[in-house]
Amino acid sequence: MADPMRLRAISDGKVTEVKILMRHDMESGQRKEADGSTVPAHFIQQVQVKWLDKVVLDAMFGTSISKDPYLAFKFQGGNKGDLIKVNWRDNRGDSRSDEVQIA
């Protein structure tokens, strides 16, 4: 399993802002080693964020996303203490899930 994500969620009672830092090397499959061999592709493919078991973000990533992706977005709703759950899955089947309470 990958390193924990850094999550933050803040609400003003109307809009919730979520910030996510995902730890992942995000290899595109195009980089070469010193000996000329290609580094195999290894990248996050899907990210899903849920609030009260409702999907508020469902994203598909590709090879052009940089190492340790940072994602920030806002959605309507959310109250202090509500739980935000974040899950990602990569092209090798690895996954990570973390959660944070809205502040």
Ramachandran region, residue 94 (left: φ > 0; alpha: ψ -120 to 50; beta: rest): beta
The structure tokens listed for 37 are 């061999």
Segment 49-82, tens digit of pLDDT:
999 999 999 999 999 999 999 999 999 999 999 9
Domain ranges of the chain: 6-27+41-101
Q: Is the CATH number of domain 6-27+41-101 2.40.50.140?
A: no
Tell how far CA 8 is from the center of its chain: 12
The structure tokens listed for 8 are 């933050």
Segment 74-85, tens digit of pLDDT:
999 999 999 999
Tell me, what's the pLDDT at 3? Answer: 86
The structure tokens listed for 42 are 């290894």
Tell me, what's the pLDDT at 1? Answer: 56
Q: Average the pLDDT over 23-37 and give the result.
A: 95
SS3 state at 57? strand
pTM summary value: 0.91
Across the beta sheet with 54-60, what order do the strands follow?
54-60, 44-51, 83-90, 95-101
